[in-house]
Structure 1
Amino acid sequence: MKGNYSHFIASVIAVPIGLITWVLSSNIFDIHMFLDVVLGIGGFGASYLPSHRIAHNKHLEEINLTNSEYKYIKSQLHQVDEQMKRLRSSYMNIRSIKDAKLIFEINRIIKTIISSVEEEPRKFYRGQQFFHSNLESAVNTIEKYLYLYKMPGKSKNERIQLHETRLSLLELKRTLQSNLSYMNQASYNDLDIEREIIRRNASRSKKRQAMLGNKLDKEKVNLKREEKEDEILYRGEQNDGR
């Protein structure tokens, strides 16, 4: 999420005001230096807080969320960061190329889902199953699978269990892909609308070009007819003159 957006805007406004306050205090009002610094900090704070609030509220309007919804989604993303750290720390237990490929693909889908919500926070509500269930299940399963896979002296039943767990990870990968597709469904719908608009505009453009072409053809025919009539009149005048 663009959490630093309002902080950046407020800082851009507040820093110059704080500096101007400090300069005016030290050079014009000739106050003690400590008080000059205090006034500069006060000027920064007095301009930063309202600027931050205004920028934050504007940002919430743009993403169509209330402040409480924004805070809730932000807290959920913070929890996701902790789970992603666990997932990355489990990489050192990978012992086969096929497992590395599968887990990195799962990780890529997870990161794509998270970045989608960071860019468009409202998508969180279409991906609640991922945040409340699927992500934790993926991290727990991968951790235990990789830890047990590296253990030596496994029995036949244990190897079968690990194989079945790997199959469940493949199923989990498909589930995560479904989560991502569902979250982006609105974007695909918008894409279909834009594609239909482009198609209609292209069709209208072709019709206008066809109408213009027919009009030009008619004008060319009329022009040739007029030229022919002028030529006949000219020849008639020449014959009369003789």
Structure 2
Amino acid sequence: MNRFLAFLVRMLIAIPTAATVWLVSFISFDQTFMFSTAFSLAGAILTYWMISVYLKYRFLRKHRLTRKEYRYIKKNLDEAKPKISRLHKALISIRHIPSLKQRMEFIRITRKIYILTKKEPKRFYKAERFYFSHLDSAVELAEKYVFLSSQPKKDRELEKSLVETRRTLEELKTSIENDLYQVLSDDIDQLHFELDVAKHSIRKIKESQLHEEGRRLK
């Protein structure tokens, strides 16, 4: 459940609870307006908190994570988010038309890894190379390239460095593609398993049909 939807659920339950508590306090227990309002606010806050705890518990249980594991993953994802933004900004700023398509693909892959691990935190463990190594290298190289390419005068040595940096970024993109493949490895394995099952079922059906046709011919 995304943050907005979770917030909406909490509010849709907390607000009616507050109204109910106010009415019960004011009418049934003959409390003053101020006391009834205070009780209703306390009820709303308590309800909101309890729903938050429940939703978080359900989220952790669904993804088979402990609180400690989730805090660790969330911390690293929070640290990675501005790095990814810096990388995307740098890649877009590079003024090299022939590599535009490749840079757009680079952005798409890194965004995909982040979204997948944000949505399903357990996948983070399969993307550790991306978050702890490849992302930092990509940010540093892309920003360095933008800085060097913005220099008004470029000598042969600088042009050589720019070419080498673009080549290294291409190699990093390949490594990050492998990171994405690793993040999706369980899904790919599951797909292969389901394909094998489907092929086996189709083969059985065809064999059965051939057997039936053979019996009819006899």
TM (norm. structure 1) is 0.79
Q: Structure 1, unaligned stretches of length 5 or more?
A: 222-242
- 1:90–1:143 Cα contact (<8 Å) kept: yes
Larger gyration radius, structure 1 or structure 2: 1
TM (norm. structure 2) is 0.87
Q: 1:63–1:10: structure 2 CA closer, same or farther, 3 Å change rule?
A: same
Deviation at residue 119 of structure 1 after TM alignment: 2.4
1:173 is matched with 173
Matched AA of 1:67 = R
1:234 is matched with none
Deviation at residue 50 of structure 1 after TM alignment: 2.6
Alpha-carbon separation, structure 1, partners of 2:103 and 2:207: 53
- 1:10–1:55 Cα contact (<8 Å) kept: no
Moved more, 35-44 or 129-138: 35-44
Q: How many aligned positions are there?
A: 218
Moved more, 7-16 or 167-176: 7-16
1:146 is matched with 146
Matched AA of 1:120 = E
Q: How does 1:1-242 map to 2 (within 5 A)?
A: 2=2, 7-90=7-90, 93-209=93-209, 217=216
**Identical positions, percent:** 27
Moved more, 107-116 or 31-40: 31-40
In angstroms, what is the RMSD of aligned CA positions?
2.6
Q: What are the Cα deviations for residues 198-224 of structure 1, in whole angstroms up to 9, with x where unaligned?
A: 122223333454566677x49xx9xxx
- 1:60–1:66 Cα contact (<8 Å) kept: yes
Q: What are the Cα deviations for residues 158-190 of structure 1, in whole angstroms up to 9, with x where unaligned?
A: 111111111111111111111111111111100
- 1:6–1:59 Cα contact (<8 Å) kept: no
Q: Secondary structure at the match of 1:68?
A: helix
Alpha-carbon separation, structure 2, partners of 1:27 and 1:208: 74
Alpha-carbon separation, structure 2, partners of 1:66 and 1:101: 40
Alpha-carbon separation, structure 1, partners of 2:69 and 2:6: 17
